């Protein structure tokens, strides 16, 4: 990684925040799935249901 790339990466806190959230979520999903607590499909179904619920609440305001 060049110095310019490092500076650009450090200068974009929103990007860093989003990437941190993505990595954290993916790590948690992997651990829960590996331990047999929940399947990836169950998590994706829950995310879809939550998204639909939030979107319907926004539309009903």
* Half-sphere CA count of 2, side-chain side, radius 13 A: 3
Q: How many helices, marked H, and strands, marked E, lie in the chain?
A: 3, 0
Q: Tell me: the pLDDT tens digits for 6-40? A: 777 667 899 999 999 999 999 999 999 999 999 99
Q: Tell me: the pLDDT tens digits for 45-56? A: 999 999 999 999
């Amino acid at each position: 990684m060049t110095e310019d790339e490092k500076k650009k990466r450090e200068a974009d806190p929103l990007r860093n925040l989003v990437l941190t959230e993505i990595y954290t979520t993916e790590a948690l999903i992997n651990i829960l799935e590996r331990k047999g607590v929940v399947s990836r499909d169950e998590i994706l179904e829950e995310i879809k249901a939550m998204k639909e619920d939030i979107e319907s609440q926004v539309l009903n305001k």
